[in-house]
Amino acid sequence: MPTRRTIPLINEHELQPRNGTPGHSISLSDLPPPEKPKKPWYYRLPLVGTIGFILAPQPSILWVLVHHHLQTLKKTHIFLIHLVVIYTLNLMIMASLYVCVTRDPGPVTLEPNQQEDYAGDDDEDVGLTEALMSGGGEDDFMKPGRWCRTCWAPKPERAHHCSVCDRCVLKMDHHCPWLGATCIGHRTYPAFVHFLTCITILAIYITTICVNAVIWSFRNPFEVINPVTPIHEFAVVVYGGMFAVVIGPFAAYHYYLISTNQTTLENISPFMLLRHLPPLPRSGHGLSDPPLEPELSYHQRRAVKDAHGKVYMYDVGWKKNWAQVFGWDTRRGWIERILYGGASPGDGRYFPRNPRSEAMLANLASELVKLDRNA
């Protein structure tokens, strides 16, 4: 298969330069900023369900605290401790949820003072002809850090286009319908992980409390003041246990992603490695440059998937990886990390590479060419 060529969508002579000078490249400041698309109201319904799941067990939790710890056991200090811990966690959950829903996950448009620093291409200004070069598909799949032809904006490295939100998001992790049908990206990912962590801690905490209360009620059936209390205790055990089993592993998965400096999209999409491969030899194979997933044979696809489990493009050590997500620059930055997660430091456009990744990608490219020649 010959190397795929890119064909311009319009002729260079048809362009209208900014100052009327032929050959002048149109800079990013000439392009209007993309408008944030508005979603229909029913996209918010899953968010109502999320809030409902958080608030649903509150009456039963209060019932257990009041009737078991306060009236039956008469342990006021234990009652107050549980009350403070539980509702502090609830407030933290709602705070991080609010951040995830209301904060922009990461706009890719550049401010005027940032345009000279954009390093998506070799030149500081992106020519309109180059931006319109068509490689097939709605999104610029060919190289990271180039241009998205769907939302008409620069596409920094690790940014992805969300088809639901109809926009590109910096360091996009995934699109979450349960959080107001919004994307989780560079500016909301810490709050999202904070949200999962607090829900897991709260679920384990109330489950432990109510398990002990259920055991006590079975061992002391004649000392239970209100016969309905064990029902509330058992209901909270089931509810909290369900959330701990469902949300807990999800939170642990994101701890793993942070430790290896991956996003969900990068972790579940092994063929994203293809866009990072070094240039292939010009002849002796039938692959595009970079190779496309549909043209790979079974053995080539297997090689990419095997490499995906070893090549962590942005892994610079677990301490630095966590600092990229939860680090802070101000003296009291740790406070917002604890209260609601905050936002990741940095601009979300530049990320240090794993120094070993280039050699591993070169080995993968050589293996793909070798397999293609032997096919």
Provide the 10 A C-beta neighbour count for residue 49: 12
Higher-confidence position of 14 and 38: 38
- Overall average pLDDT of the 54-80 stretch: 93
Higher-confidence position of 58 and 166: 58
Q: How confident is the model at residue 283 (pLDDT cuts 50, 70, 90)?
A: confident
For residue 32, what pLDDT is reported? 52
What is the pLDDT of the chain when averaged over all its residues? 83
The SS3 of residue 146 is: strand
Q: How confident is the model at residue 374 (pLDDT cuts 50, 70, 90)?
A: confident
Cα within 13 Å of Cα(366), Cβ side: 6
User: Cα–chain-centroid distance for residue 102?
Assistant: 16
State pLDDT tens for residues 200-210.
Answer: 999 999 999 99
For residue 125, what pLDDT is reported? 39
End-to-end CA distance of the chain: 13
Give Cβ neighbours of residue 86 (< 8 Å, ≥ 6 apart).
61, 65, 202, 205, 206
Residue with tokens 């430790």: 259
In this prediction the pTM is 0.81
pLDDT at 147 exceeding the cut of 80? no
Residue with tokens 């998965």: 253
State pLDDT tens for residues 93-126.
Answer: 999 999 999 999 998 875 544 444 443 333 333 3
Question: Any idea which of 14-28, 34-48, 75-89, 297-311 has the lowest mean pLDDT?
Answer: 14-28
Single out the residue of 237, 229, 234, 238 nearest to residue 70, CA to CA: 229
For residue 166, what pLDDT is reported? 86
State pLDDT tens for residues 312-331.
Answer: 999 999 999 999 999 998 88
pLDDT at 157 exceeding the cut of 60? yes
Q: How far is 125 from 156, CA to CA, in rounded Å?
A: 14
Residue with tokens 């009652």: 79
| Segment (H or E) for 155 | strand 153-155
pLDDT at 348 exceeding the cut of 70? yes
